[in-house]
């Protein structure tokens, strides 16, 4: 679940500054009062589209599978293997998250000047982007390893959960 928390945190780091922007007509020509909410809805839709393909991966993260161990009827051997995968991935994920935080702090600090120097910002942004990629890769690799631990019947059950969740999200989006 820490992986999912990191993804949520990362998306919030991107979304919060956008959501906090002043969207009044005085600041943004061409945007009248009330246009800000539509922009937020559009951004949330884009986030849903980006995250939808990840739902299948997230469902197979070891922490998620271990949280569903009773429903999946995991054997003690499977629990042990999933716990080992989770512990190994945690180290790589935390290293990426720490590196991300360091570089995003540098981006934030450099951005506080009246005229931020893009030459100085870019290396930190790129390093933060790379760190986030490494943290996400740790999650994807752990999910792939975890999927292989399950039986065909268990994988079918997890896949059914993912399909149901995707259908719910689609229904909510069309409402």
pLDDT of 144 over the 90 cut:
yes
Residues 6+ apart with CB under 8 A from 47: 11, 15
| pLDDT (tens digit per residue) in 16-70 | 444 444 444 444 444 444 445 567 778 777 777 777 778 889 999 999 999 999 9
* Confidence (pLDDT) at 97: 92
Burial status of residue 128 (CB atoms within 10 A of its CB: 0-12, 13-18, 19 or more):
buried
Q: Which CATH class is domain 57-174?
A: mainly alpha
Asked whether the predicted pLDDT for residue 6 surpasses 60, the reply is no
pLDDT mean across residues, the chain: 81
Q: Which tokens is 26 given? A: 């005085």
**% pLDDT > 70, the chain:** 77
Domain coordinates in residue numbering, the chain = 57-174
């Amino acid at each position: 679940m820490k992986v999912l928390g990191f993804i949520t945190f990362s998306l919030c780091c991107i979304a919060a500054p956008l959501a906090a922007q002043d969207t009044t007509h005085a600041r943004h020509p061409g945007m009248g009062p009330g246009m800000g909410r539509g922009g937020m809805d559009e951004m949330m839709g884009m986030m849903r589209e980006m995250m939808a393909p990840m739902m299948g991966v997230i469902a197979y993260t070891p922490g998620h599978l271990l949280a569903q161990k009773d429903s999946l009827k995991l054997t003690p051997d499977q629990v042990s293997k999933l716990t080992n995968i989770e512990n190994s991935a945690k180290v790589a994920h935390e290293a990426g998250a720490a590196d991300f935080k360091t570089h995003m702090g540098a981006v934030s600090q450099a951005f506080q000047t009246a005229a931020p120097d893009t030459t100085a910002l870019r290396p930190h942004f790129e390093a933060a982007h790379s760190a986030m990629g490494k943290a996400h890769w740790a999650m994807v690799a752990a999910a792939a390893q975890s999927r292989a631990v399950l039986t065909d019947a268990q994988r079918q059950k997890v896949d059914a959960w993912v399909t149901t969740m995707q259908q719910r999200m689609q229904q909510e989006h069309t409402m």
